[in-house]
């Protein structure tokens, strides 16, 4: 029988490929080494490596340097290298979270609001603002909202079971990049079930595929940013569960073999797989088809998770008095998943640099500036911006503008011509990824400053200012100005220091300082 005839027979009889437990063989785990090739000659992906980005430096050219206009040479607090030192400290809090196994087995880590890593980060923000010369530094504590909780996966495993039919010496493989999505639950004994590949899970593909009682495996090709895939991937996963699938695997077609904490609300067990692990799984599906294997093939899942409620957290406020008691708020959230160098280590480090800059007597602003390291961006019921508004009615009443800095200095990432273990690499150019700038309300004056400042400092704005409201903005009546990047590595373990542009840190810092100075000196009626 030819492959084409076999494929047609497969569709006609609704035969689907699954992984079979090797009942007669001892359970030996594949160490995920590239040289191992017992699975039809297909090598498993390299094991997961924390703090490793898929970034490839693809040019002999340096990152284009920051622009320092005449007269700004003395603004040393805004230099990229100085900001980078703070960013390294911020990322270290995340790495300590993993080293100490703050969360279960240490498979997930970060700067988590409500956990020690979150408060250690806030402790540092408080100390750093004081060291920077900020006149008034205040810590504001608050409790988690009743009925809310943070879902945390403590430990998990996704195991593909081997069979002699796959090749001599075939052994079990653990997909180390696997990451349970938010709200996933499994029975205490785990789950063992057959797998079925459903492609991109479109209706035209699913009409011939029976997913009942199986783990459905769908392929996701992000459109530049995993954030954009949340809704469609979740909807497809929910449809697969509705059709009877007992779990869903999302193969995320990204470079490397990263863990990805995104896509939730699947209405059933749901795991993301890194690109290289996903490549291995798909190639095994293909090899099984070509070999004419029709027996069920199986995988096992285990998960220990918990809901944490009753926690408390804090914001840190640093106030630099101006000539007027009207104020401008500059906010950056402190918490992060994984290393969080871009989301939101860079925004926080730049906020600290701005506080130090404006605390110097020669740079004192016309309006009071309130610098906020806010908590709870990723923790339900502990929203720092919400509490900022609730705990500071007088400050909010005097506020004329809010600025939110949220992942702002990542390098530009582009698809490369090369691939590693079957997955296309990414390459960088000499600049940063594009920045979106948003204004909650139209203002010709503010828009003119944004345009002139973007040119002055060489920022890579994707478009003119829009009313698009993303990120962690306090809900206030005064205008909100937002800077944010759409980094493809968002909420992944690949979001490391190596992905950050040091000149980009300086570009954004100098731009925001320019913007703040202009707004602080302008009559309120102008914006």
CATH of the domain at 25: 3.50.30.30
Looking at the DSSP assignment, which residues form a beta bridge with residue 179? 272
The domain boundary, picked from 306, 336, 365, lies at: 306
Is residue 513 in some structural domain? yes
Secondary structure class of 32 (helix, strand, coil): coil
Q: What is the pLDDT of residue 33?
A: 44
Domain-embedded: residue 392? yes
Rounded (10°) angle between helices 502-521 and 444-457: 150
pLDDT score for 6: 33
Cα–Cα distances (Å) from 83 to 400, 497, 500, in that order, read 27, 12, 11
Q: Which domain holds residue 216?
A: 3-50+153-306
Query: Is 211 contained in some domain?
Result: yes
pLDDT at res. 83: 98
Beta strands 270-273 and 247-252 are parallel
Question: Which value, in Å, is the radius of gyration of the alpha carbons in the chain?
Answer: 25
Task: Please indicate, yes or no, if residue 58 is contained in any of the structural domains.
Answer: no
Q: Are residues 254 and 294 located together in one domain of the fold?
A: yes
Both 275 and 325 in one domain: the answer is no
147, part of any domain = no
Asked whether residue 122 falls in the same domain as residue 218, the answer is no
Residues 510 and 405 in one domain: yes
Query: Where does 269-389 show beta strands of DSSP type E?
Result: 270-273, 298-308, 312-320, 324-333, 336-337, 367-374
Three-state SS for 463-493 is CCCECCCCCCCCCCCCCEEEEEECCCCCCEC
Give the H or E element holding residue 80: helix 80-99
The answer to whether position 319 is within a domain reads yes
Residues 127 and 157 in one domain: no
Q: Which residues lie closer than 8 Å to 391 by C-beta, 6 or more apart?
A: 140, 142
Residues 432 and 483 in one domain: yes
Give yes or no: residues 327 and 467 share one domain: yes
Is 221 part of any domain?
yes
Domain annotation covers residue 409: yes
Task: Verify that 123 and 159 share a domain, yes or no.
Answer: no
The domain boundary residue, chosen from 251, 276, 306: 306
**Maximum CA extent, the chain:** 85
pLDDT of residue 37: 59
- Residues 520, 322: contact at Cβ < 8 Å? yes
Do 266 and 192 reside in the same domain of the chain? yes
Q: Could you say which residues of the chain have pLDDT below 70? A: 1-37, 57-59, 296, 468-470
CATH of the domain at 382: 3.40.630.10
Residues 100 and 157 in one domain: no
Task: Indicate whether 200 and 255 sit together in one domain.
Answer: yes
Query: Same domain, yes or no, for 238 and 95?
Result: no
- CB atoms inside a 10 Å sphere around CB 100: 12
Last residue of a domain, one of 306, 335, 367: 306
Residue-wise pLDDT for 137-192, tens only, equals 999 999 999 999 999 999 999 999 988 888 777 789 999 999 999 999 999 999 99
Helices (DSSP H) in 392-523: which residue ranges?
393-397, 444-457, 502-521
Pairing assessment for the beta strands 172-174 and 150-160 based on DSSP bridges = antiparallel
How many structural domains are present in the chain?
2
């Amino acid at each position: 029988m030819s492959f084409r005839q076999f494929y047609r027979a497969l569709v006609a009889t609704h035969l689907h490929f699954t992984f079979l437990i090797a009942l007669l063989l001892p359970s030996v785990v594949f160490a995920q080494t590239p040289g191992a090739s017992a699975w039809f000659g297909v090598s498993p992906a390299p094991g997961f490596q924390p703090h490793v980005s898929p970034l490839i430096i693809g040019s002999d050219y340096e990152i284009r340097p920051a622009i320092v206009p005449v007269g700004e040479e003395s603004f040393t607090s805004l230099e990229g290298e100085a900001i980078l030192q703070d960013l390294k400290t911020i990322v270290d809090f995340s790495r300590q979270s993993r080293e100490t196994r703050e969360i279960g087995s240490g498979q997930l880590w970060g700067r988590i609001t409500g956990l020690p890593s979150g408060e250690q980060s806030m402790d540092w923000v408080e100390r750093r603002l004081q060291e920077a010369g900020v006149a008034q530094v205040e810590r504001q504590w608050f409790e988690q909202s009743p009925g809310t909780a943070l879902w945390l996966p403590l430990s998990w495993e996704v195991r593909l079971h081997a069979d002699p039919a796959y090749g001599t010496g075939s052994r079990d493989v653990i997909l180390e990049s696997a990451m349970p999505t938010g709200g996933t639950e499994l029975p205490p004994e785990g789950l063992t079930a057959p797998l079925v590949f459903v492609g991109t899970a479109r209706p035209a593909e699913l009409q011939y595929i029976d997913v009942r009682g199986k783990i459905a495996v769908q392929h996701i090709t992000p459109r530049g940013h995993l954030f954009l895939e949340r809704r469609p991937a979740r909807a497809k996963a929910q449809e697969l569960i509705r059709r009877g699938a007992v779990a869903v695997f999302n193969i995320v077609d990204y470079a490397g073999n990263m863990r990805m904490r995104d896509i939730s609300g699947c209405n059933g067990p749901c795991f993301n797989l890194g690109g290289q692990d996903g490549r291995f799984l798909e190639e095994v599906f293909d090899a099984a088809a070509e070999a004419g294997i029709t027996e069920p093939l199986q995988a096992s899942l285990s998960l220990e998770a918990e809901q944490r409620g009753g926690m408390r957290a804090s914001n840190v406020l640093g106030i630099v008095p101006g000539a007027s008691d009207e104020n401008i708020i500059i906010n950056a959230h402190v918490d992060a998943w994984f290393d969080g160098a871009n989301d939101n280590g860079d925004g926080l480090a730049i906020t600290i640099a701005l506080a130090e800059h404006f605390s110097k007597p020669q740079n004192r602003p016309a309006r009071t500036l309130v610098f906020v390291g806010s908590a709870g961006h990723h923790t339900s019921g502990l929203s720092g911006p919400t509490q900022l508004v609730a705990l500071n009615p007088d400050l909010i009443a005097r506020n004329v503008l809010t600025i939110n800095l949220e992942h702002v200095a990542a390098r530009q990432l582009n698809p490369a011509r090369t691939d590693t273990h079957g997955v296309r690499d990414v390459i960088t150019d000499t600049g940063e990824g594009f920045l979106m700038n948003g204004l909650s309300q139209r203002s010709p004056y503010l828009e003119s400053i944004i345009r002139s400042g973007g040119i002055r400092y060489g920022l890579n704005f994707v478009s003119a200012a829009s009313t698009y409201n993303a990120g962690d903005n306090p809900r206030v009546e005064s205008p909100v100005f937002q800077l944010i990047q759409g980094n493809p590595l968002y909420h992944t373990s690949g979001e490391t220091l190596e992905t950050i542009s040091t000149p980009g840190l300086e570009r954004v810092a100098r731009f925001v300082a320019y913007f703040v100075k202009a707004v602080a000196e302008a009559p309120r009626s102008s914006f």
